[in-house]
A and B are shown apart, each in its own frame.
Chain A
Amino acid sequence: DSGVTQTPKHLITATGQRVTLRCSPRSGDLSVYWYQQSLDQGLQFLIQYYNGEERAKGNILERFSAQQFPDLHSELNLSSLELGDSALYFCASSPGLTGGQFFGPGTRLTVL
């Protein structure tokens, strides 16, 4: 158990819908990262937050957004969902800006 929690574990929704994925980092970790894992794209970095502020952006679509709250948990919002958004979404956390990352169990999103 890495200490990073993600909810829900599974999410099934329809195209065009909006969903929110939640992540709680390890106690004391200030950085939160979101990654998407799909069969065709592999593991891709989406976005990083540090202590409430956005720090780095990867291949995140404009339909996706994220935020980190004062209690350091983070949410990833996915809107206008398409079939191709079906993937495993991981959250990771680290103590600082560039430390080793610990991954949560992931949320499996299925868009029908």
Chain B
Amino acid sequence: AQSVAQPEDQVNVAEGNPLTVKCTYSVSGNPYLFWYVQYPNRGLQFLLKYITGDNLVKGSYGFEAEFNKSQTSFHLKKPSALVSDSALYFCAVRGGYGGSQGNLIFGKGTKLSVKP
């Protein structure tokens, strides 16, 4: 069964520093991986996805993610954090064998806190 794990409940970063939010996955077949962000009292916003191709995926708001097949990881990164990046971040994988189903399976989320 497809699953993702976000090992950190919270990540604290100083503004201007690089940030990394970790995600590891377990899938049958090829992984279809996603990152979403949720601001307080808001819905989830799509950041980026990996389907195939380059291991470094660029997304919205300056975020990028690195797909690493050998480590089964898909960490979210940003070179310079902003206070406005403070939010809840979710890693997700598409369900079904090889992502054959449309539904997303989410990790528990990582709260990112960026201090000025």
Question: Which A residues fall within an 8 A CB radius of B?
Answer: 2, 4, 31, 33, 35, 42-45, 48, 50, 55-56, 58, 90, 92, 94, 97-106
Q: Which residues of B contact A43 (CB under 8 A)?
A: 90, 106, 109
> How many residues in B have their beta carbons less than 8 Å from beta carbons of A?
24
Chain B residues in 8 Å Cβ range of A102: 46
| B44 at interface by CB-CB < 8 Å | yes
Which listed residue (A2, A45, A50, A97) contacts B104, Cβ 8 A?
A45
Residues of A within 8 A of B105 (CB): 45
Query: Nearest chain B CB to A102's CB is how many angstroms away?
Result: 6
B74 CB, min distance to chain A CBs, angstroms = 15
A94 to chain B, nearest CB (A): 7
Q: How far is the CA of A57 from the CA of B52 in the complex (A)?
A: 26
Instruction: Please name 8 pairs of A and B residues whose Cβ atoms are closer than 8 Å in the assembled complex, sorted by A.
Output: A2-B43, A2-B45, A2-B46, A42-B106, A56-B102, A92-B44, A97-B102, A98-B100
Q: Which listed residue (B36, B103, B107) contacts A103, Cβ 8 A?
A: B36
B22 within 8 A of A: no
A48 near B103: Cβ-Cβ < 8 Å: yes
Tell whether B99 is near chain A: CB-to-CB under 8 Å.
yes
Instruction: Say whether B106 contacts A98, CB under 8 Å.
Output: no
Residue of A42, A44, A55, A103 touching B102 (CB-CB under 8 A): A55
Contact B95 A45 (CB under 8 A): yes
For residue B10, give the distance in angstroms from its CB to the closest CB of chain A: 15
Query: Of B46, B95, B101, B108, which is within 8 A of A100 by CB?
Result: B46
CA distance A43 to B101 in the complex (A): 17
A105–B46 alpha-carbon span in the complex (Å): 13
